[in-house]
């Protein structure tokens, strides 16, 4: 990770959640605390950068909405930035709720960024241990933000500083209090940036020391990732932006490839949401720009 890059990605993701909570209706995922972790200066800067960059995303909107900055911000946020983070968060937290009823004891959020799950669910403080795993710089930045915003760290939240995409260290989880109990891993917004081999190795390591019934929620891009343009070229734009940032997208999977990779780690796919199913569940009958992102799938897989 280049200095500041991970935090910038986390900041933009939090901006998308905060924007949705404040301005969009109906809500797909209501992260009502996200804005508390973004300063006024950061919020303004992100919005200004969107306005300045609208021509990259859509020349027609740029020309038509030149004087309407809020419409430009809404268009970029709803079309390009927010659909996948909102829907996958809604899906993942639905899975957490279901797994809690089935004896879940630990929830590991890989690439946590500015996640606010534990603060939105104080009722789980004594029933669910939450481990946020992220790059050391990102975690230090987040903890500073939490302090400035006046958040109190609950006893069930454990920070694990690690660049897990390069070297996953089980010992760091164990040092933070992780144990051999039923666990749910969240691996969202990560698989695209790893090679297929790196994805397989990471999942193997995650499930080497957890009991049967433990599971993972992840998103992945299908084999159309590098050929599909998407609505307003948003898939193509996503790939181009990742490459320009120095973190290119490296892998996409057919369903059969994903199934095979998970099976090699002792996992069975319990649920698979296609882009069409995601749209039906989370975006159907909306009257704004929000719609399910082409090529992106969600998986819930369980250790046999």
Position of tokens 């433990």? Answer: 214
Task: Return the pLDDT at 8.
Answer: 84
User: Under CATH, which number does the domain 83-303 receive?
Assistant: 3.40.50.150
Q: Residue 131's pLDDT band (boundaries 50, 70, 90)?
A: very high
57 has a pLDDT exceeding 70: yes
Is the C-alpha dihedral spanning 193, 31, 69, 46 positive or negative?
negative
| Distance of alpha carbon 220 from alpha carbon 189, whole angstroms | 8
Task: Return the pLDDT at 1.
Answer: 42
Average pLDDT over residues 124-153: 96
pLDDT digits over 170-208, tens only? 999 999 999 999 999 999 999 999 999 999 999 999 999
How many Cα atoms occupy the beta-carbon half-sphere of 62 within 13 Å? 11
Cα separations in angstroms, 248 against 195, 242, 243: 11, 5, 4
| Distance of alpha carbon 141 from alpha carbon 295, whole angstroms | 32
Q: Give the β-pairing of 267-273 and 296-303.
A: antiparallel
- What tokens appear for 58 in the block? 């859509």
218 has a pLDDT exceeding 90: yes
Q: Residue 6's pLDDT band (boundaries 50, 70, 90)?
A: low
Q: 9 or 275, which is more confident?
A: 275
| Distance of alpha carbon 270 from alpha carbon 215, whole angstroms | 9
The dihedral over CA atoms of 241, 246, 252, 258, expressed in degrees to the nearest 10, equals -130
State percent of the chain over pLDDT 70: 98
3 has a pLDDT exceeding 90: no
* DSSP classification of residue 38: S
119 with 146: CB under 8 angstroms? no
295 has a pLDDT exceeding 70: yes
- The strands making up 157-161's β-sheet, listed across from edge to edge, are 157-161, 129-134, 106-110, 183-187, 215-221, 296-303, 267-273
Task: Return the pLDDT at 66.
Answer: 65
- Mean residue pLDDT of the chain comes to 95
256 has a pLDDT exceeding 90: yes
Q: Is 238 helix (H, G, I), strand (E, B) or coil?
A: helix
Task: Return the pLDDT at 284.
Answer: 97
Task: Return the pLDDT at 148.
Answer: 96
217 with 95: CB under 8 angstroms? yes
Mind giving me the DSSP string for 53-112? THHHH-HHHHHHTTT-HHHHHHHHIIIIISHHHHHHHHHHHHHHHHHHTTT--EEEEET-
- The full set of domain ranges for the chain reads 5-81, 83-303
Q: 243 or 5, which is more confident?
A: 243
170 with 210: CB under 8 angstroms? no
Q: Residue 64's pLDDT band (boundaries 50, 70, 90)?
A: confident
293's CB contacts (< 8 A; 6+ apart) are 83, 84, 230, 234, 235, 275, 278
4 has a pLDDT exceeding 80: no
Average pLDDT over residues 1-9: 62
């Amino acid at each position: 990770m280049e200095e500041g890059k991970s935090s910038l990605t986390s900041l933009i993701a939090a901006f998308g959640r905060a924007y949705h909570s404040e301005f969009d209706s109906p809500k797909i995922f209501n992260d009502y605390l996200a804005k508390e972790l973004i300063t006024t200066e950061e919020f303004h800067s992100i919005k200004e950068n969107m306005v300045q960059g609208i021509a990259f995303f859509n020349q027609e909107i740029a020309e038509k909405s030149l004087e309407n900055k809020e419409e430009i911000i809404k268009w970029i946020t709803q079309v390009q930035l927010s659909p996948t983070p909102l829907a996958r968060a809604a899906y993942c937290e639905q899975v957490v709720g279901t797994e809690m009823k089935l004896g879940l004891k630990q929830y590991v959020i890989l690439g946590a960024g500015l996640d606010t799950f534990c603060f939105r669910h104080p009722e789980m403080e004594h029933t669910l241990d939450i481990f946020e795993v992220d790059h050391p710089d990102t975690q230090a930045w987040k903890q500073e933000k939490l302090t400035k915003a006046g958040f109190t760290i609950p006893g069930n939240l454990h920070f694990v500083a690690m660049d897990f995409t390069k070297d996953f260290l089980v010992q760091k989880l164990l040092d933070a209090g992780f144990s051999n109990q039923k666990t749910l891993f969240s691996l969202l917004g990560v698989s695209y940036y790893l090679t297929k081999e790196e994805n397989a190795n990471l999942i193997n390591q995650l499930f080497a020391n957890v009991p049967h019934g433990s599971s993972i929620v992840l998103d992945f891009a299908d084999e159309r990732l590098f050929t599909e343009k998407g609505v307003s070229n948003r898939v193509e734009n996503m790939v181009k932006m990742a490459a320009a940032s120095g973190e290119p997208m490296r892998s996409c999977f057919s369903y059969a490839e994903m199934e095979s990779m998970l099976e090699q780690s002792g996992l069975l796919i319990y649920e698979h949401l296609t882009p069409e199913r995601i749209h039906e569940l989370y975006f159907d009958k909306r009257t704004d720009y929000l719609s399910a992102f082409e090529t992106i799938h969600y998986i819930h897989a369980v250790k046999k």
